[in-house]
């Protein structure tokens, strides 16, 4: 089949005079089903439409958008596999030095707010050509939202990009319906009837069975109204129960969100992943060393979509939804047979998963007919009585993959939801996970250990994680293995004060472990946690939430998690004093740090007995960072001593 055209020469070679769609993307062109632009373009192609790709155009040059000419039906835009602002910046605001979705990892090849910039670029050159935006950036900014990077409340991306339509969510169904409507001669302004789309209108009177959201002006003036709006939006993300939402703007403009598209059936999922992808980046990138992002997915499989985990800092509810959709075993096995033939395949399947690897079916039977519950979560604060915690199907799939000729090992690297694992009364999957699918260490995401913070994160209580840890190490011991857990932890999430940050530091002290990586909370569009950050209100219940916005306090909370690092000494000391925990500064076994030399009454005697503070801290840091074997042994032994 070959790659889609990226130039006029390619169009000529493929016998195309004018493309139906020109797809402008913020990523490099990678024809692999882990890239949204590849799926959408191949789905359109399978329905008889021609698609060309303009990858990372020079947004300062209008000619860059015209290299494939004017499309017959519409321009499509995707900012990329990641929101362009997340792609560009750390939470601190510092620019990331590389871009894994660009040839050679080169940064600065896409603009900030790429969807908006590309939309306005197209509109300047082709004033009356339909423009349809999609991908995760447009999907999560489809209605008014808080933008962390500008610290401002922004309009729907539909208005700022000057686009005609948003295809939100995964988009396979809606994009075909849009294409068919345009091909039949319906003007883009009249394409207002397709589920999974957002459009603008001057007349909201005739919209049937809709729900009105607070107006943009009112939300901007009263942030608590945004929390109210978000709660309504959250309750209408399900395709079974979701209604049309209407958001008013000045000058009698309305942005209208149609209900979500129905979830893909297993057969539909299989069809999407069976399309003729080239499964790699465009050969024109070879001279720059290819596209780094392909290495993470080249030998991995998407097993499912959607997530009923309900983490408040995650936007999956707004993009893929809470209903889990899966591919058949046969579909995944066929894809596995393809990669086994790849000359670069060494026998190791890197991942079989999705947003949450061990979700292979909806959380309960009623979801498919009645939709997900609006007022309760499947796993939080405790597993719902109707939850079907069952790993049999996933286990059967993994066993089939392990048995394929040429496959040495099948790893699971996407997230395991440990509370769901613990809810399963059958330990067979847990045992086989430890025995066959862990590469020395299993990454899990408790995120925090303070129940006060966990409740704001939408994560289970601390005791659930500790039961999981005990069981994990017990199974390892039974199997004669020495494998470890690497917990992901988050600092300064809404609800976390210095008190909770110190509590986490004490937990790590007792564990004998200091994380090498810590994630500061990152407020991204369309998450419950971001609404808390902006408004100081939990949109689920209207209660006020403490929010750490001060950069210095954020630095202190982060430093407490890595309190052994000598570079963090000043911040840790300040945090302990400010938090009223000077008892943790001293020489006792429970202390986090030692006092400064100048604070000790007998400076000479202290130095003789204890040595120089900087030297001692550096020695501790060196051990925790460089002596990996000893560190892992310490973690294992402490887990045993603490019976965690």
CB-count burial class (<10 Å; 0-12, 13-18, 19+) for 221? exposed
Residues 35 and 180 placed together within one structural domain of the fold: yes
Percent of the chain with pLDDT strictly greater than 70 = 93
Residues 220 and 331 placed together within one structural domain of the fold: no
Confidence band for 613, pLDDT divided at 50, 70 and 90: very low
Percent of the chain with pLDDT strictly greater than 90 = 87
Report the alpha-carbon distance of residue 292 to residue 167 in Å, rounded. 28
636 has pLDDT over 50:
no
Q: Which two tokens stand for residue 542?
A: 């209207």
β-bridge partners, 153: 146
Q: Say how many domains are in the chain.
A: 2
3-state SS of the chain: helix, strand, coil percent to 5?
40, 15, 45
Cβ neighbours, 10 Å, residue 452 = 14
Q: Is residue 33 part of a domain?
A: yes
Residues 108 and 248 placed together within one structural domain of the fold: yes
Q: Is residue 627 part of a domain?
A: no
> Running DSSP on this structure, what letter comes out for residue 585?
B
Residues 304 and 159 placed together within one structural domain of the fold: no
Residue 514 is predicted with a pLDDT of 84
Residue 536 CA to its chain's centroid (Å) = 23
pLDDT digits (tens, 9 = 90+) for 170-222: 999 999 999 999 999 999 999 999 999 999 999 988 898 999 999 999 999 99
CATH number of residue 30's parent domain:
3.40.50.280
CB-count burial class (<10 Å; 0-12, 13-18, 19+) for 104? middle
In which element (H, E) is residue 322 found? none
Question: What is the average pLDDT score of the chain?
Answer: 92
Residue 640 is predicted with a pLDDT of 45
Q: Is residue 508 part of a domain?
A: no
CB-count burial class (<10 Å; 0-12, 13-18, 19+) for 112? middle
Report the alpha-carbon distance of residue 378 to residue 384 in Å, rounded. 5
Q: Is residue 527 part of a domain?
A: no
Whether 142 contacts 132, CB under 8 Å: no
Residue 517 is predicted with a pLDDT of 79
Between vectors from CA 445 to CA 442 and to CA 447, what angle results, nearest 5°? 145
Residue 374 CA to its chain's centroid (Å) = 22
Confidence band for 609, pLDDT divided at 50, 70 and 90: very low
Residues 250 and 344 placed together within one structural domain of the fold: no
3-state SS assignment for residue 636? helix
What angle do the packed helices 392-402 and 428-436 form, to 10 degrees? 30
Residue 497 is predicted with a pLDDT of 97
Whether 163 contacts 178, CB under 8 Å: no
Confidence band for 513, pLDDT divided at 50, 70 and 90: confident
DSSP for 469-498, written as a single string = HHHHHHHHHHHT---EEEEEEEES-TT--H
Which range is least confidently modeled, 48-52, 481-485, 615-619?
Answer: 615-619
Where do the H-state alpha helices sit in 126-222?
A: 135-140, 157-160, 172-183, 216-221
Residue 600 is predicted with a pLDDT of 55
628 has pLDDT over 90:
no
Where do the H-state alpha helices sit in 184-244?
A: 216-221, 223-234
Residues 353 and 238 placed together within one structural domain of the fold: no
E strands, 250-384, where?
Answer: 253-257, 280-281, 300-302, 304-305, 325-326, 348-349, 351-353
Q: Is residue 219 part of a domain?
A: yes
Q: Is residue 397 part of a domain?
A: yes
Among the candidates 390, 417, 444, a domain finishes at 417
Residues 215 and 116 placed together within one structural domain of the fold: yes
Q: Is residue 155 part of a domain?
A: yes
Residues 104 and 248 placed together within one structural domain of the fold: yes
pLDDT digits (tens, 9 = 90+) for 88-105: 999 999 999 999 999 999
Residues 74 and 217 placed together within one structural domain of the fold: yes
Residue 144 is predicted with a pLDDT of 98
pLDDT digits (tens, 9 = 90+) for 343-396: 999 999 999 999 999 999 999 988 888 999 988 899 999 999 999 999 999 999
Confidence band for 598, pLDDT divided at 50, 70 and 90: low
Confidence band for 263, pLDDT divided at 50, 70 and 90: very high
Produce one character per residue of 222-247: b if its CB has 16 or more CB atoms within 10 Å, e if not: ebebbbbbbbebbbbbbbbebebbbb
Residues 234 and 127 placed together within one structural domain of the fold: yes
Among the candidates 395, 417, 439, a domain finishes at 417
pTM for the whole structure: 0.91
pLDDT digits (tens, 9 = 90+) for 90-144: 999 999 999 999 999 999 999 999 999 999 999 999 999 999 999 999 999 999 9
Residue pointed to by tokens 């990009």: 161
Residue 39 is predicted with a pLDDT of 98
Q: Quick one: which of 90, 174, 82, 209 has its CA closest to 135?
A: 82
Mean pLDDT over residues 502-516, rounded? 92
Identify which has the larger pLDDT, 517 or 551. 551
Residues 115 and 243 placed together within one structural domain of the fold: yes
Report the alpha-carbon distance of residue 390 to residue 425 in Å, rounded. 8
Among the candidates 204, 236, 257, a domain finishes at 257
Residue 51 is predicted with a pLDDT of 98
Residue 637 CB-half CA count within 13 A: 7
21 has pLDDT over 70:
yes
Residue 596 is predicted with a pLDDT of 86
CATH number of residue 307's parent domain:
3.30.750.210
pLDDT digits (tens, 9 = 90+) for 370-381: 999 988 899 999
> Running DSSP on this structure, what letter comes out for residue 197?
E
Produce one character per residue of 2-33: b if its CB has 16 or more CB atoms within 10 Å, e if not: ebbbbeeebbeeeebeebbbbbbbbbbbbbbb
472 has pLDDT over 90:
yes
Residues 64 and 163 placed together within one structural domain of the fold: yes
pLDDT digits (tens, 9 = 90+) for 418-451: 999 999 999 999 999 999 999 889 999 999 999 9
| 3-state SS record for 46-100 | HCCCCEEEEECCCCCCHHHHCCCCCCCCEEEEECCCCCHHHHHECCCCCECCCCC
Long-range pairs of 370-377 with CB within 8 A, sequence gap ≥ 24:
370/240, 370/241, 371/238, 371/239, 371/240, 371/241, 371/242, 372/238, 372/240, 372/241, 372/308, 372/322, 372/323, 374/235, 374/238, 374/241, 377/308, 377/310, 377/458
- Dihedral sign computed on CA atoms, order 200, 201, 202, 203: negative
Q: Which two tokens stand for residue 464?
A: 């659930």
Q: Is residue 49 part of a domain?
A: yes
Q: Which two tokens stand for residue 208?
A: 């049937």
Range of the domain at 154: 8-257
Residue 604 is predicted with a pLDDT of 41
Confidence band for 575, pLDDT divided at 50, 70 and 90: very high
| Pairing state between β 210-212 and 152-154 | unpaired
Q: Quick one: which of 418, 424, 427, 496 has its CA closest to 459?
A: 418
């Amino acid at each position: 089949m070959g790659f889609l055209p990226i130039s006029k020469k390619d169009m000529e070679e493929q016998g195309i005079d004018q493309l139906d769609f020109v797809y402008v993307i913020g990523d490099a062109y990678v024809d692999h089903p882990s890239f949204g632009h590849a799926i959408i373009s191949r789905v359109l192609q399978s329905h008889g439409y021609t698609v060309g790709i303009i990858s990372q155009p020079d947004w300062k040059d209008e000619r860059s958008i015209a290299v494939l000419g004017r499309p017959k039906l519409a321009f499509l835009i995707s900012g990329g596999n990641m929101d362009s602002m997340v792609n560009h910046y750390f939470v601190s605001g510092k620019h990331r030095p590389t871009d894994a979705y660009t040839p050679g990892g080169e940064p600065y090849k896409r603009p900030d707010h790429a969807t908006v910039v590309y939309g306005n670029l197209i509109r300047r050159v082709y004033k009356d050509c339909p423009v349809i935006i999609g991908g995760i950036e447009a999907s999560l900014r489809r209605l008014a939202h808080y933008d962390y990077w500008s610290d401002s409340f922004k309009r729907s991306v539909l208005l700022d990009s000057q686009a005609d339509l948003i295809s939100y969510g995964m988009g396979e169904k809606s994009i075909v319906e849009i294409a068919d409507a345009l091909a039949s001669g319906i003007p883009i302004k009249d394409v207002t009837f397709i589920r999974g789309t957002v459009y603008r209108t001057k007349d909201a009177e005739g919209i049937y069975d809709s729900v009105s959201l607070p107006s943009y002006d009112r939300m901007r003036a009263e942030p608590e109204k945004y929390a109210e709006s978000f709660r309504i939006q959250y309750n209408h993300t399900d395709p079974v129960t979701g209604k049309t939402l209407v958001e008013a703007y000045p000058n009698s403009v309305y942005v209208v969100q149609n209900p979500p598209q129905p979830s893909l059936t297993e057969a539909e999922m299989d069809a999407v992943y069976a399309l003729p992808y080239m499964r790699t980046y465009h050969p024109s990138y070879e001279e720059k060393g290819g596209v780094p992002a392909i290495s993470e997915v080249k030998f991995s499989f998407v097993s499912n979509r959607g997530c009923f985990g309900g983490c408040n800092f995650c936007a999956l509810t707004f993009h893929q939804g809470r209903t889990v959709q899966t591919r058949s075993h046969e579909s995944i096995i066929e894809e596995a047979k393809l990669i086994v033939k790849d000359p670069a395949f060494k026998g190791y399947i890197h991942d079989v998963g999705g947003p949450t690897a061990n979700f292979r079916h909806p959380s309960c039977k009623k979801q498919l007919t009645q939709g997900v519950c609006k007022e309760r979560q499947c796993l939080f604060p405790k597993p719902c009585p109707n939850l079907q915690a069952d790993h049999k199907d996933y286990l059967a799939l993994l066993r089939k993959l392990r048995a394929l000729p040429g496959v040495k090992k099948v790893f699971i690297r996407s997230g395991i939801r440990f509370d769901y694992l613990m809810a399963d009364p059958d330990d067979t999957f847990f045992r086989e996970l430890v025995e066959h699918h862990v590469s020395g260490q299993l990454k899990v995401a408790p995120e925090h250990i303070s129940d006060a913070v966990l409740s704001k994160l939408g994560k289970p209580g601390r005791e659930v994680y500790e039961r999981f840890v005990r069981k994990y190490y017990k199974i390892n011991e039974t199997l004669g293995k020495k494998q470890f857990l690497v917990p992901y932890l988050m600092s300064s999430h809404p609800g976390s004060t210095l008190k909770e940050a110190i509590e986490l530091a004490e937990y790590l002290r007792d564990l004998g472990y200091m994380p090498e990586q810590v994630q500061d909370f990152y407020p991204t569009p369309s998450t419950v946690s971001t609404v808390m950050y902006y408004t100081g209100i939990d949109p689920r219940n209207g209660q006020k939430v403490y929010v750490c916005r001060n950069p210095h306090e954020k630095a202190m909370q982060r430093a407490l998690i890595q309190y052994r690092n000598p570079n963090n000494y000043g911040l840790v000391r300040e945090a302990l004093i400010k938090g009223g925990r000077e008892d943790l500064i001293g020489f006792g076994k429970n202390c986090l740090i030692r006092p400064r030399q100048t604070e000790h009454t007998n400076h000479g005697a202290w130095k003789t007995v204890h040595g120089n503070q900087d030297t001692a801290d550096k020695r501790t840091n060196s051990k925790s960072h460089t002596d990996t074997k000893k560190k892992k042994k310490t973690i294992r032994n402490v887990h045993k001593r603490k019976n965690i």
